[in-house]
Structure formats: C-alpha cells, structure tokens
Amino acid sequence: MFEHLYIDRPRKLVAFFSEPVIFHCHHYNLFLQQTIEDPDWIDGVSILQTSAQEIFYSLLANAFKRLGLQTAAERLATAAHIFSFLGFGRLNFEVTEEGGEVELTHSHYAEGWLGKYGEQVNRTKPIDHLAVGYVAAALDATFAALGTYVAEETSCVAVTRQDHCIIQVTKAAVPRSLTPSPQMGKLIDQPVPFPKGDTSVDYEAVNEALWGLPLEGDTNGQIRAFNVLLTRMPANYYNRIQYRFLDELQKVDPQLLEVGQALIRESGHVCVFYTFGNIMESLEWETVVGPMLNTDTDWIHGGYAVASSLGWGRWQALEVVSNESCRVAIDGNYEANYFLASYPPAAQPACYFAQGAVPAMMNIVYNGHIERKPVLDEAFYNRLFQRGGVFQGVEVKAREKGDPWCEFYAQRL
C-alpha cells in the first residue's frame, strides 16, 4: 500500500487515496475518544461511529475506483487490507449485500485500552467505535452508497477479555443522509518562507529520514514503533469528531464549549507527552535527530521537525528562548485545512489540538527533562503537567480567522 501514499513535501502533508493521513498513537486515540464518549448529555458514540463511516467511505470509495475493483470479494479484501495497513487491527468479513458478521482481531483500540487501563478498570461497554464505522463504510462502498448500512459491536475484547471482537452489520431501515469527507480540505497555495531559526536541526533531513521508515501494519494489523501503538489515521476523522463534539456541547449549553475546547487542548498535551516523549527516547531519534542536537533549544526544533514528518502540516519553531518561551508557526495545519473547508471563518482561533501541543513540547523538554529518558507513565504525566511553572500557550495568528498561517506562542507561567 505504500505506493498509494502521496507525500506533498512542500506542505508536509501525506495523502492516501485522496485523504490526508497522519500518525498518532494509542494514548492520544484513547484520550480523545474517551473525551467524546463520556459525557452523558451528548451521543458521543454516534459522533465517533458516524464520523468514521463518513470519512472511511470517502477513502474506500476512492481506493476502489482508483484500483479498478469491481467485485464484492475484491473490494472487501482491499478494505480489510487497508484497515490493517493503517494499524487498526484485522477484519474478517463474512457478509453479503444484506449484511452479516465481521470478526475483529488485534483491535488497536481494545488492545490499547487493555494495555493502558486493563489492570485497573473493568470496562463494560464496547470500545471499537472506529471499527464499527469502518465496517459500515466498507459495505456502503462495496454494495451501495454512503449511509446504506449500520453496524454494531456485539462482543468486544476490552469487555470480554477474549481473543476477538464481533461486529454485526445490516442495511438501515431508511438510508441515512451522511456527509462525505472534504478530503484534503482548504490547502495553502504555497508555503510561506519562514526563517529557519537559530538551530543546527535540519528540518528537511529529518522529514526525509522519517518519511522513509516502513511504518505499516504488521501481520496483526498493528504498527508498533517508538514504544507505542501507532495508527496512520485519516486526519479528517480527528477533525470531524472534535469539531462535532464541540458543536454538540454548544447546542446543549454554550458554557460547555470552553470546557470542550480545554479538553481538546489537553489531548494535545497527552499526544506530545506520549508520542513525542517516546519518540525522543527512541533509537530512531538518537540516530536521525540526535547528531543535530547541540543545545537544549535544538530539542524543541527537533520535535517540530518530527511533527512536520507526521502529516500534520509544516511546523516551524521560529524562536525558542531556553526554558522561557517559544514561537511556532504552522503553515497548513491539518485542523485549519479541515475547518476552512467545513465552516465559515471563525471569530476565535480554532486549532485546539495545536494549542495544547505547542506548550506541551516546552513542558516535556524543560519540565520533563526528556533527555534523561524518564519513565513515561501516568504518574509522571500528572507530576509534569499538574504542578506549577508549566508552559501555557495561545494561538496568536489563525488561518481559520483569515491570517495567512497559524502561529502559537508558549511561555512559562
């Protein structure tokens, strides 16, 4: 499947059958899903499942068309292959045009949850909302059109502690009117010539080295790298679930909107702590970025060079003041690309994930001292982010407001 990945080097984006795809790990995936799933006053499960059905339908329909797949067997086999390639596990379709049963093994979400929480918590509800939406999308794209099928997880490994999950899929009594993906969204016309900053880190060299890593699902459909479970997720799945979550909160009570925004920012903290923390403790970091690190500020530049390799857009640290502050520009952030294609211009900055990620990068370097390779567990996370003297950030320029790029400033408070 690597031959179907397109790297837009100037914009630092990666497309897979016309869908932007990005890397995130199971810690971030679980935190963001739980954020949306937990509130009783909205139907978070529906947000998660429906968004997956919409985004993956667009990806799969594009894939089937580009590959010239005509038969149901070819399409379902390819859908299973793509699911595994992206790191979500393995699907075995036992279905006809009327529906049927799908077996899910090595589930990214279920196994990730068990590894992270299984010793402390007994889960009572299924967790594989993305897979449920994916299965419905696969049958939509194979047999009919978007919104034709509905799916339900009837047995989940995170609940049963058995070796597989079961998803049942049927035709909807009345086809639902769903919204396809905006695909690459509103792209920048061309990159802005930002200054490179005072650093010995070669952003382009880091990008090329990491783009060349053979990161794909293994025989279990899992991407194990940097001591985490990775997924090459369609960026618009993250975008759709986070913005729909905020939309639903505002409908219930406008005062809940700020709470939701804070939770999305917190997901950025979680991402940098676990994903970037583990990356910075990895052999790949030591090999690719390590030789470029001459000062403590180079660790910040190195982190953003890696961020630009993950499909997130072009992240550039413009200025880093050791242990005090940083200014970061993002040219073509995946959040802004989606927002501008899906909503009218915003009155306030809306790249909430990035708003949390930028100060978190300073926190993990200057408060977490990641160069000492601490154990990246929940206890360390709580000590790092819930004490005084942490870095806080603000989005000072925003494409979603009409600025030519997004810019963030973080400082110690």
Return the half-sphere exposure (C-beta side, CA atoms, 13 A cut-off) of residue 23.
Answer: 26
Q: Are residues 160 and 208 in the same domain?
A: no
Q: Are residues 140 and 208 in the same domain?
A: no
| Residues 274/374, Cβ–Cβ less than 8 Å | no
User: Could you tell me the residue range of the domain that residue 126 belongs to?
Assistant: 43-171
pTM equals 0.96
Give pLDDT tens digits for 271-296.
Answer: 999 999 999 999 999 999 999 999 99
Q: Are residues 207 and 138 in the same domain?
A: no
Per the domain annotation, does 34 fall within a domain? Answer: no
Give pLDDT tens digits for 303-336.
Answer: 999 999 999 999 999 999 999 999 999 999 999 9
Per the domain annotation, does 241 fall within a domain? Answer: yes
| Secondary structure of residue 53 in the 3-state scheme | helix
Per the domain annotation, does 370 fall within a domain? Answer: yes
By CB atoms closer than 10 A (0-12, 13-18, 19+), residue 270 is: buried
Q: Are residues 358 and 241 in the same domain?
A: yes
Per the domain annotation, does 277 fall within a domain? Answer: yes
Q: Are residues 251 and 314 in the same domain?
A: yes
Return the half-sphere exposure (C-beta side, CA atoms, 13 A cut-off) of residue 17.
Answer: 23
Per the domain annotation, does 26 fall within a domain? Answer: no
378 confidence band (pLDDT: 50, 70, 90): confident
For residue 27, give both structure tokens: 């810690």
Q: Are residues 284 and 352 in the same domain?
A: yes
Per the domain annotation, does 259 fall within a domain? Answer: yes
Q: How many domains does the chain have?
A: 2
CATH code, domain carrying 71: 3.30.1380.20
> Kind and range of the H or E element at 48?
helix 44-67
Among candidate residues 236, 49, 257, the one with its CA nearest the CA of residue 136:
49
Residue 103: strand pairing partners: 92, 166
CATH code, domain carrying 241: 3.30.1380
Among candidate residues 264, 221, 183, the one with its CA nearest the CA of residue 14:
183
Residue 162: strand pairing partners: none
Q: Are residues 380 and 243 in the same domain?
A: yes
Per the domain annotation, does 20 fall within a domain? Answer: no
Per the domain annotation, does 22 fall within a domain? Answer: no
